Amino acid sequence: MRWFVFIAFVSWLPFAYAAEPPKLDTSRGDRMIAEYFRLETAKLREACLADIHSADDWNAKKGEYRRQLLDMLGLDPLPERTELQPVVTGKTEHDEFTVERLHFQSRPGLYVTGDLYVPNNLKKGEKLPAILYVCGHGGVKKDGVSFGNKVHYQHHGGWFARNGYVCLIIDSLQLGEIEGIHHGTHRYDRWWWLSRGYTPAGVEAWNCVRALDYLQTRPEVDGDKLGVTGRSGGGAYSWWIAAIDERIKAAVPTAGITDLQNHVVDGVVEGHCDCMFCLNTYRWDYPLVAALVAPRALLISNTDRDGIFPLDGVYRTYSKVRRLYELLGKPNDLALQITAGGHADTQELHIHAFRWFDKHLKGIDRPIDKVATKFFQPEQLKVFDKLPADELNTKIDETFVAAAPTPVPPADKDAWEKQRDGWLQQLGDKVFRGWPVSGSPLELTEAFNVESDGVRLRAFDFVSQQGITLRLYVAQRAKLDKAELVVVNPLDTAGWSEFLATFRPAFEAQLQGESLPEANAIEWQSTQKMFDSFPWVMAYVAPRGIGPTAWDQSAKKQVQHRRRFYLLGQTLEEMQTWDVRRAIQATRAVTGLTETPLWLQGHRQMAALSVYAAIFEPNIKRIDLHEMPASHRDGPALFNVLRVFDLPQAVTLAAERFQVVIYSPEKDAWQFPQAVAERLQWEKRFQLRTPPQPKAAE
């Protein structure tokens, strides 16, 4: 009976009168998150290459760094090099060169369309250096038909061919002849990409790897003399392929890199789509990507007024990498070219790039007497007459990075412990790597302590991590001598509004610093009755970005701040999970609650975050989960988590340690924890219950 009554009272939060969301004063949150991003960026900047003091240091670590980059691109382990199945669909002639219109499959169903520019009048058996030109976002369409980026950038291919190079220009996934998506988080709210460990940068990198494979099959190509260049998005892909594949002997990434200071603090991330970024699991700053090209020939090329690749960040990147080239004894194989202008494809940029390849792939120095010119109409460079029915380009995000297979319930305790330990290791290595080091001071300070209507409400401020200060509200019966239970409630935006509406009738003066919704007197009376009837303490916290620390609520800023987190090797939800952990620790630090049995109660997305917080915190007795999503596909975005497992397995980890009660009508979704609990005889530690009926609005 006691537990039934507990449900009736403690579960009030999600079923309360639906308060109108208040208009938020976001100035505090905006200042806080700006400072947080500044501090986190500084940490990564200072750590980048700081442990490299000699050539031996670099040679000892570069293999692991390359593996990490491959992992962050979704390419560890490398996919199978399946048959390319190249097809030349036609040829376009020019007096000085021939363009072969072709496609190949970098993996079955993932088509790469491209144009191969081959100089005419080659001598028998002659082999030429080859340039892989990777396109930025310059799509060309007529009447709704996409001709690909390669049409926009055709002048590069023609220029290289007229000067004695074979040049393969390949379309990118987005804006190619088969139009895939780069803007998953930028535009389409595909935050599950982060949980899956997917970034279109990985697709572009893999397509480049296979493009090199194709070039090395061509009889006109000297496979030991391969270079890469491209601008904007193509500049970024030039970095990916040059960093992960040492077949590239010379690289000229143009307008394709800057550091985290520019992206996160200065805000240029807002001008970039997801193809520009790896999933920063290992918390790199971008000079480390550039470092992986060393000691091969690298020309970093940019203009001086590029708004999305600012000069200061480009120079900082170059400066860090220059030190490495000097340590490796190759200072002349790194250079920086800066020309006048904005984010534009200029002849000045082309000329220096061409001379760089001449020097490092041909060993010559000659004047450039031909300009880059577009010779063809889009129709003359199109590969497909009809797009292939078996293409996976438009849905490659679903399969490019393999999700963890659905696990089978372990046969016995030993099998479970092995499975559990492996999962916990992966959670630390791949999912929550962006968490701070545990053990920093909470700096818990009491903000107020008042009584009203027989209820005592206290507020405590605590430091979740450097730059993030949150408030914990603790409520109980005014004259309670000893609490038998404390329940920690992490609040989402709806929960925060309901908390304010419920406590406003008695504590408006203390809550007046917040944007208050209309008071809910009925819920306040219900809460009073709960405290009168039971010796319980209720604690409430709004993690970062919610309630007191909410920042700019515009759709654009909400999206771009979430993207800033993932550039720092975190997700907003991961760090909110950390906030829940710290709120539990803060509750334990409140006088009189150190040894009190502690429950967690979470709703919606906060239910899922509460599960992970509880997995990593000791001495949790029970957790109640309401309206929780059954999968990270619909739930909170956590780095790489779907490469490890899904929410039912996280619940199982929790159920081994304490009681888990899920209120859900989706019984089938929770078969795994139910089966494990039954098999390992975790008596009553996992329970599925029918959700209580919502209260009718008064």
Q: What is the pLDDT of residue 368?
A: 85
Q: Are residues 354 and 230 in the same domain?
A: yes
Domain assignment present for 285: yes
Digit-coded pLDDT (tens) for 407-464:
999 999 999 999 999 999 999 999 999 999 888 999 999 999 999 999 999 999 999 9
Domain assignment present for 238: yes
How far apart, in whole angstroms, are the C-alpha atoms of residue 282 and residue 34? 22
In 465-554, which ranges are continuous DSSP H helix? Answer: 493-511, 521-533
Q: What is the pLDDT of residue 58?
A: 98
Digit-coded pLDDT (tens) for 117-126:
999 989 999 9
Domain assignment present for 416: no
Q: What is the pLDDT of residue 673?
A: 97
Alpha carbon dihedral 644, 650, 655, 660, in 10-degree steps, equals -170
Long-range contacts of 561-565 (CB under 8 A, 24+ apart): 561/33, 562/185, 562/191, 562/637, 563/185, 563/186, 563/269, 563/270, 564/37, 564/263, 564/264, 564/269
Number of domains in the chain: 2
Nearest to 178 by CA among 413, 386, 438, 447: 386
Q: What is the pLDDT of residue 24?
A: 60
Q: Are residues 385 and 492 in the same domain?
A: no
How far apart, in whole angstroms, are the C-alpha atoms of residue 572 and residue 576? 6
Backbone angles phi, psi at 567, to 5 degrees: -65, -25
CATH number of the domain enclosing 507? 3.40.50.1820
Domain assignment present for 275: yes
What's 514's DSSP letter? S
pLDDT beneath 70, residues of the chain: 1-25, 694-698
Q: What is the pLDDT of residue 365?
A: 94
User: Is the entire prediction scored with pTM above 0.75?
Assistant: yes
How many Å is the maximal CA-CA distance in the chain? 98
Q: What is the pLDDT of residue 667?
A: 87
With pLDDT > 70 as the criterion, what percentage of the chain qualifies? 96
Q: How far is CA 481 from CA 32, 444, 476, 585, 593, in A?
A: 37, 22, 10, 22, 11
Q: What is the pLDDT of residue 695?
A: 60
How far apart, in whole angstroms, are the C-alpha atoms of residue 355 and residue 96? 20
How far apart, in whole angstroms, are the C-alpha atoms of residue 262 and residue 264? 6
Element (H, E) at 658: none
Domain assignment present for 409: no
Element (H, E) at 330: none
Domain enclosing residue 592, as ranges: 2-43+446-689
Q: Are residues 379 and 477 in the same domain?
A: no
Residue 24 amino acid letter: L
Q: What is the pLDDT of residue 694?
A: 64
Q: Are residues 151 and 286 in the same domain?
A: yes
Q: Are residues 7 and 141 in the same domain?
A: no
Q: Are residues 226 and 365 in the same domain?
A: yes
Q: What is the pLDDT of residue 16?
A: 36
Matching residue, tokens 């450097």: 466
Domain assignment present for 212: yes
Q: What is the pLDDT of residue 306?
A: 96
Q: Are residues 494 and 365 in the same domain?
A: no
Q: What is the pLDDT of residue 7?
A: 41
> Taking CA 476 as the corner, what is the angle to CA 475 and CA 481, rounded to the nearest 5 degrees?
140
Strand partners, 381: none
Q: Are residues 370 and 513 in the same domain?
A: no
Q: Mind giving me the DSSP string for 607-636?
A: HHHHHHHHHTSS---EEEEES--SSTTTS-
Q: What is the pLDDT of residue 301?
A: 97
Domain assignment present for 52: no
Q: What is the pLDDT of residue 11?
A: 42
Domain assignment present for 34: yes
